[in-house]
């Protein structure tokens, strides 16, 4: 299901981004970061860590730039090797005559007493390291008093020539290719931000609406976007998403575009109070935690637009609403009340199985036989007593 076109946004742009999960992710990452800048390493190259897990993100971001949702600005320029493209490149200073990189900087010194001029290396004693004039052999103790520094040059240690303008070359540490600045590839490195149009698309909730609607429908809810709910005042309040349970309970969702969280909350809470929706979710561009501290209503939840599990949080709220509804509509089976006659064992027929009746009659017969046997035993005992008494009477 496609979300309705947003006012002020071309439908082509909305549909292109809403239905592309990579594009949605890129825009949300840039929105949260403000600006996505490159991480540059000579060995690792140019990296954009927030985008690295997104396949073909470079191609997708080019489409977003073309659609004027994302803009890129030059953050830096790097020298690339023209042979392998690596940025692991170092600079070299070369002797203009022999093209050797074995040159070193040195100062030109003038001895104030004798006027001799030469490079510092010629004045430096290799054994003691002290400055000694090669001409008059006097030591140079303090600059400005014994000598002055006229300038700085590069001296080639191979051909011994001096120059104040060495050649500049570049050496690729990856493929060992050496090249000059004319053959170097000098490429820009970009940083990415959202355009005003891109920011409007994000804060409007368009990147999430379709996914939220589909998730709520899978739970069996009836979803409208936008949806209306009549309040006790008689006013029809509009919400970005209205989801109704089978028993008519209402989950309302709004995307706030205000940058001030307190303003976003205070301007929307009256809707929840008037309509008495069962659950109300307000999604803010930022500052959701601080805003949630302002809300004192149990049925109101404040979430942040860039939360990684935003849709899952809303689904969880919907499930809680359905679970609560299921408990309230559950009816315990009624036990039928017994009539007065049945209570006292009067009236009505007792449905006793035939087997139980037979077992009861057999038990009764056995009891009767036992009683008859006991009576016979008692009679015999009496006869014996009577006979015993007559013998005693005659002294026998």
Cα 9 to Cα 23: distance, rounded to the nearest angstrom: 16
Confidence of residue 15 (pLDDT cuts 50, 70, 90): confident
- Is the confidence at residue 119, as pLDDT, over 70? yes
pTM of the model: 0.68
Q: Is the pLDDT of residue 295 over 70?
A: yes
- What is the pLDDT averaged over residues 300-322? 91
Burial category of 282 from C-beta neighbours within 10 Å (exposed 0-12, middle 13-18, buried 19 and up)? buried
pLDDT for 101: 94
Q: Per-residue pLDDT for 223 more than 70? A: yes
The residue among 16, 19, 32, 33 whose CA lies nearest residue 69 is 16
| Sequence ranges of the domains in the chain | 11-80+185-197, 96-165, 205-329
- 159-214 pLDDT, tens digit each: 989 999 999 999 999 999 999 999 999 999 999 999 999 998 999 888 899 899 99
336-364 average pLDDT score: 50
The CATH number of the domain covering residues in 205-329: 3.40.1350.10
Question: Between residues 325 and 330, which one has the greater pLDDT?
Answer: 325
CB 203 within 8 A of CB 125: no
**CATH architecture entry for 11-80+185-197:** Orthogonal Bundle (1.10)
Q: Please give the pLDDT value at position 359.
A: 53
Q: What percent of the chain has pLDDT over 70?
A: 80
pLDDT given for residue 4 in this prediction: 44
């Amino acid at each position: 299901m496609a979300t309705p076109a947003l006012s002020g946004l071309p439908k082509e742009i909305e549909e292109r981004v809403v239905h592309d999960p990579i594009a949605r992710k890129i825009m949300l990452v840039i929105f949260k970061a403000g600006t996505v800048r490159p991480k540059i390493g000579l060995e690792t190259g140019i990296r954009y860590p927030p985008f690295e897990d997104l396949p073909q993100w470079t191609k997708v971001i080019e489409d977003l730039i073309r659609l004027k949702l994302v803009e890129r600005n030059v953050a830096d320029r790097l020298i690339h090797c023209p042979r392998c493209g690596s940025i692991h490149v170092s600079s070299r200073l070369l002797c203009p005559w022999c093209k050797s990189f074995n040159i070193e900087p040195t100062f030109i010194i003038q001895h104030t007493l004798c006027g001799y001029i030469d490079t510092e290396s010629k004045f430096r004693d290799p054994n003691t390291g002290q400055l000694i004039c090669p001409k008059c052999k006097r030591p140079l103790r303090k600059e400005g008093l014994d000598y002055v520094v006229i300038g700085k040059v590069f001296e080639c240690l191979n051909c011994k020539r001096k120059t104040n303008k060495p050649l500049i070359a570049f050496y690729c540490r990856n493929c060992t290719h050496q090249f000059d600045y004319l053959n170097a590839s000098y490429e820009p490195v970009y940083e990415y931000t959202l355009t005003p149009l891109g920011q409007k698309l994000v804060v409007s909730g368009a990147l999430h609406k379709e996914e939220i609607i589909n998730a709520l429908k899978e739970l069996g809810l009836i979803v409208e976007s936008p949806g209306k709910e009549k309040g006790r005042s008689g006013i029809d309040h509009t919400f970005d998403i209205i989801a109704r349970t089978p028993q008519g309970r209402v989950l309302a969702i709004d995307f706030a575009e205000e940058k001030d969280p307190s303003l976003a909350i205070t301007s929307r809470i009256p809707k929840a109070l008037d309509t008495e929706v069962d659950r109300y979710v307000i999604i803010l561009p930022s500052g959701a935690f601080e805003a949630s501290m302002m809300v004192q209503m149990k049925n109101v939840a404040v979430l942040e637009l860039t939360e990684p599990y935003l849709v899952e949080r809303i689904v969880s709220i919907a499930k809680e609403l359905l679970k609560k509804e299921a408990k309230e509509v559950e009816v315990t089976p009624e036990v039928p009340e017994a009539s007065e006659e049945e209570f006292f064992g009067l009236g009505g027929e007792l449905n006793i199985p035939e087997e139980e009746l037979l077992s009861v009659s057999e038990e009764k017969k056995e009891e009767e036989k036992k009683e008859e046997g006991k009576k016979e035993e008692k009679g015999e005992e009496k006869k014996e007593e009577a006979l015993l008494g007559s013998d005693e009477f005659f002294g026998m």
